[in-house]
Amino acid sequence: MRRSTRLFEIIQILRAAEAPMTATQIAERLEVSKRTVYRDIAALQAMRTPIEGEAGLGYVMRRGYDLPPLNFDSEEVEALRVGLAMLARTGDSALQQAALRICHKVEALHGPADWLQISTQGAAPDDPARGCVSVSVLRSAIRDERKLRLIYRDEDGSETDRVIRPLGLVYHVDCILLGAWCELRGGFRHFRTDRIWACDPQEAFFEGQAAGLRQLLRETDVPQIETITF
**pLDDT of res. 223:** 46
CA distances from 168 to 77, 88, 131 (A): 28, 19, 22
34-46 and 23-30 helices, crossing angle to 10°: 100
| Mean pLDDT value of segment 138-143 | 93
| Mean pLDDT value of segment 96-118 | 80
- With 60 as the cut, is the pLDDT of residue 226 above it? no
Element (H, E) at 161: strand 159-171
| Mean pLDDT value of segment 175-195 | 92
Range with top average pLDDT, 33-37, 54-58, 114-118, 120-124:
33-37
First to last CA, the chain: 34
- In this prediction the pTM is 0.61
Q: What is the domain partition of the chain in residue ranges?
A: 3-61, 68-122, 128-227
**pLDDT of res. 66:** 60
Region of 70 please: left (phi>0), alpha (psi -120 to 50) or beta.
beta
Q: Looking at domain 3-61, which of 3.30.70.360, 2.60.40.420, 1.10.1740.10, 1.10.10.10 is its CATH number?
A: 1.10.10.10
CA distance 21 to 24: 8
| Mean pLDDT value of segment 60-86 | 76
Range with top average pLDDT, 59-73, 111-125, 133-147:
133-147
Model confidence at 65, pLDDT cuts 50, 70, 90, reads low
Closest by CA position to 187, among listed 157, 152, 216: 216
**pLDDT of res. 11:** 87
Average pLDDT, the chain: 84
